[in-house]
């Protein structure tokens, strides 16, 4: 069932009720419901590769990792969104009684496309920074071996690093974990002419 979303202001409760009934995912931004475009096969492979390589236990600490289908609530900006990958330290904290919306990501990964990269790098990052406990943001280009990383140092201060080339190794700040770009881009075909979403 595909639900037509009329242009009007929705409450968060109305959005969540509609979201349960639809066959596609939408984001909620301050009263507006925005249908999400589908991802390319390369986009999906990159997110999946990161999830497959990420260990759930690191130095006796437990982590949970979610890919694409778990909503994130950002109450400060009245936003619900679906990050490509979220890592939670320990157990997820849920909004309300449902297990579909979390509020405590430690690390967020977004796979960039030409149509979303500006939003992911600017406003979306600003929204994410309002989340208590959020420590690291990783932006993965789906068209070349290139990653941008933002790691929180103190309140209001983030360090930026970039990684390029197949031999580069991404080292996390919030988690004691490293992954090579070769592993992140495993089986990704940059020559594919996939529609940009």
Q: What is the mean pLDDT of residues 93-114?
A: 95
Sign of CA dihedral 52, 188, 110, 158: positive
CATH of the domain at 100: 3.90.1570.10
What's residue 1's pLDDT?
43
Please provide the average confidence, as pLDDT, over all residues in the chain. 92
What's residue 36's pLDDT?
86
Is 193 within a domain?
Answer: no
Predicted TM-score (pTM) of this structure:
0.92
Q: What is the mean pLDDT of residues 152-172?
A: 96
DSSP state of 90: S
Domain range enclosing 163: 39-184
Is 192 within a domain?
Answer: no
Query: Could you give the 3-state DSSP secondary structure of residue 159?
Result: strand
Residue 102 has pLDDT above 60, yes or no: yes
- Segment 6-42, tens digit of pLDDT: 578 999 999 999 998 888 899 999 999 998 877 899 9
83 & 32 share domain: no
29 & 76 share domain: no
What's residue 9's pLDDT?
92
**CB contact at 8 A, 72 and 81:** yes
Residue 60 has pLDDT above 70, yes or no: yes
Residue 193 has pLDDT above 80, yes or no: no
What's residue 23's pLDDT?
82
Residue 192's pLDDT band, with cuts at 50, 70 and 90, is confident
23 & 62 share domain: no
- Other residues' Cβ atoms within 10 Å of the Cβ of residue 30: 10
- Segment 62-81, tens digit of pLDDT: 999 999 899 999 999 999 99
The residue assigned the tokens 């080339």 is 165
**CB contact at 8 A, 64 and 91:** yes
25 & 108 share domain: no
Domains held by the chain: number: 2
61 & 26 share domain: no
Is 52 within a domain?
Answer: yes
Residue 182's pLDDT band, with cuts at 50, 70 and 90, is very high
> How many residues are there in the chain?
197
24 & 97 share domain: no
What's residue 57's pLDDT?
95
149 & 63 share domain: yes
């Amino acid at each position: 069932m595909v639900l037509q979303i009329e242009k009007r202001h929705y409450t968060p409760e109305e959005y969540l009720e509609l979201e349960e009934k639809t066959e596609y995912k939408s984001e909620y931004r301050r009263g507006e419901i925005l249908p999400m475009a589908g991802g390319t096969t390369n986009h999906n492979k990159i997110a999946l590769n990161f999830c497959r390589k990420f260990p759930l236990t690191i130095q006796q600490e437990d982590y949970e990792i979610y890919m694409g289908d778990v909503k994130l609530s950002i109450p400060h900006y009245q936003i619900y969104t679906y990050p490509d990958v979220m890592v939670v330290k320990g157990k997820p904290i849920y909004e309300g009684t449902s297990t579909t919306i979390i509020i405590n990501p430690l690390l967020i990964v977004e796979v960039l496309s030409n149509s979303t990269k500006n939003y992911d790098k600017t406003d979306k990052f600003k929204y994410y920074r309002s989340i208590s406990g959020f420590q690291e943001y990783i932006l993965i280009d789906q068209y070349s071996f290139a990653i941008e990383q933002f790691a929180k140092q103190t309140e209001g201060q983030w360090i930026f690093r970039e990684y390029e080339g197949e031999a580069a190794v991404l080292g996390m700040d919030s988690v004691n974990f490293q992954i090579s770009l070769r592993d992140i881009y495993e089986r990704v075909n940059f020559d594919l002419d996939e529609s940009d979403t």
